[in-house]
Amino acid sequence: MSLQVTFNTVIEQHLTTEGRLVLGLSGGMDSRVLLELMVNFARSREVDCIAVHVHHGLSANADLWAQRCRDWCQSLNVPLMIEHVQVEQDGQSLEERARQLRYAILRPYIHNNDLLLTGHHADDQLETLLLALKRGSGPKGLSSMALAMPFGHGQLVRPLLSVTRDDIEQYAQQQNLEWNEDESNQDPRFDRNFLRHHIVPQLAKRWPHIQQASLRTAQLCYEQESLLDELLAEPFAQALSSDLSLDIETLIKVSEKVRMRLLRMWLEHLSVRMPSREQLKLIWQQVALAQADANPQLQLEQAQVRRFQGRLYLVRQWQSLQTWQQSLTLDSPLLLPDGLGTIHLRPMASGQLSLAALSQAELRVTFEPQGLSAHPAERVHSRKLKKLFQEYGIPSWLRRRTPIILCGEQVVAVGDLFIDRQFTGQDCELVWDKLQQIV
């Protein structure tokens, strides 16, 4: 089967009539071939397509690579967006941090029903499987890379996952394509490069079909993992709260094996790099089962696991919002910082706020409760916001991530917790849309 037929078959299985094709274009051989295949498909099917190049600046040739991507896309009449990022290791490997940043940059480009295309192939899958074995991973790690998976508002698709690197190189040479050669790909200090240049060629020489065998292994592990998730979907839903915390009492009632699985499902649901088996045990023993008066926490690679009022929370390293404030206009949604969604004061007949009261002074949003007091409509007395946060059971780390709406210097409302008595009415509604919220 030709590369173009393979590509077309995969895309036709996942693309809807409303979706676009979005290519993550590094300019390396794999993505350069994918660019050609995407353009051929898009022209024959009248589908919109774009490319995004992430400029990491890690190589002296980074500017040249970006320019070549620009030239290729211009010759093919494909819109290209170039995004510049600065990679900081933050305790992680440079390769891992660059990968995370790349996907973070690509995510906003994926609109409803769009497909993000990446050039991963069968040799990449074998390398990923071997790296999982090196780490001592279970079936989840051995399932490696999926052909398609949810991403942003669409899907991430790897159309060449069943194709070998040799097949891709043969196509590139037949089409007289040029591509960028990343010098870091030759550095054997990186585990993946060591496997690529020293281990996989020997394995393929001894067992020519090992790439396809690794694909079957990954698929079987994926199916097993999917079955477990399906069987445990109901208890997981019972343990998971609307604020994405996990109920400890529910976990106590199940067996240790089910408990560990539910913890894994929770962390995966929050898009956290899966911790080791020992770290999972520590989450349960040192955080969930800590003394009632303790304030336990366990540091993972990307976040902390903490406990509050019988629930486990994942706490990321957020930016400080202490000085952030913004004017708020009626019937105009305000985008909140750091992925906290939007705030919208919407006039409507069945609301809980008074338009007349809101018109007395300028409206604004802040996240700093220091010095502010409020009188919730359902309470008898006014209290400091610090006390009200405690009474409403808001974890300490979320108290400066809850938007406070002010009219002049008076508190109108605090997130979706309460409305101040002075501003209650029936002709305006407050909506905190958390759909964009990054937990």
* Full pLDDT tens readout for the chain, 439 residues: 699 999 999 999 999 888 999 999 999 999 999 999 999 999 999 999 999 998 877 777 888 989 999 999 999 999 999 988 776 655 556 667 677 778 888 888 999 999 999 999 999 999 999 998 888 888 888 888 889 988 888 999 999 999 999 999 999 999 999 998 877 777 788 888 899 889 999 999 999 999 999 989 998 998 999 999 999 999 999 999 888 899 999 999 999 999 999 999 999 888 788 888 899 999 999 999 998 878 898 988 778 999 998 999 998 877 789 899 999 999 888 988 887 888 999 999 888 999 999 999 999 999 999 999 999 998 888 999 999 998 998 888 889 999 999 999 999 999 989 999 999 999 999 999 875 443 3
Cα separations in angstroms, 34 against 19, 178, 420: 18, 13, 56
| Strands across the sheet containing 303-308 | 246-247, 311-316, 303-308, 297-299
Cα separations in angstroms, 81 against 21, 55, 69: 14, 10, 10
> What CA–CA distance (Å, rounded) separates 403 from 368?
8
Q: What is the largest CA-CA distance in the chain?
A: 80
Q: What is the DSSP letter of 353?
A: B
> What CA–CA distance (Å, rounded) separates 168 from 121?
9
Q: pTM surpassing 0.85?
A: no
Residue 60's pLDDT is 77
Q: Are strands 404-407 and 311-316 parallel, antiparallel or unpaired?
A: unpaired
8 A C-beta contact, residue 297 and residue 306: yes
8 A C-beta contact, residue 423 and residue 433: no
Measure the CA angle with vertex 125, ends 207 and 3; round to 5°: 85
Contacts 24+ apart (CB under 8 A), 394-400: 395/306, 395/308, 395/309, 395/313, 396/308, 397/306, 397/313, 397/315, 399/369, 400/320, 400/321, 400/322, 400/367, 400/368, 400/369
E-assigned strands of 25-76? 49-55
Q: Are strands 342-347 and 428-433 parallel, antiparallel or unpaired?
A: antiparallel
Alpha-carbon dihedral 412, 418, 421, 423, rounded to 10 degrees: 40
8 A C-beta contact, residue 144 and residue 132: yes
Measure the CA angle with vertex 109, ends 107 and 113; round to 5°: 90
> What CA–CA distance (Å, rounded) separates 272 from 317?
13
> What CA–CA distance (Å, rounded) separates 157 from 160?
9
Alpha-carbon dihedral 161, 165, 167, 170, rounded to 10 degrees: 140
Phi, psi of 369 (to 5 degrees): -85, -10
Give the closest residue to 271 by CA, choosing from 106, 23, 103. 103
Give the closest residue to 377 by CA, choosing from 335, 341, 430, 337. 430
| Residue 184 token pair | 């870091």
Beta-carbon contacts of residue 259 (< 8 Å; ≥ 6 apart): 251, 284
- For the chain, first and last CA: distance in Å? 43
8 A C-beta contact, residue 384 and residue 399: no
Q: What share of the chain is helix, strand, coil (3-state, %, to 5)?
A: 40, 20, 40
Residue 282's pLDDT is 94
Residue 87's pLDDT is 66
Give the closest residue to 415 by CA, choosing from 423, 405, 425, 424. 405
Cβ count within 10 A of residue 223? 12
Residue 90's pLDDT is 53
Residue 439's pLDDT is 36
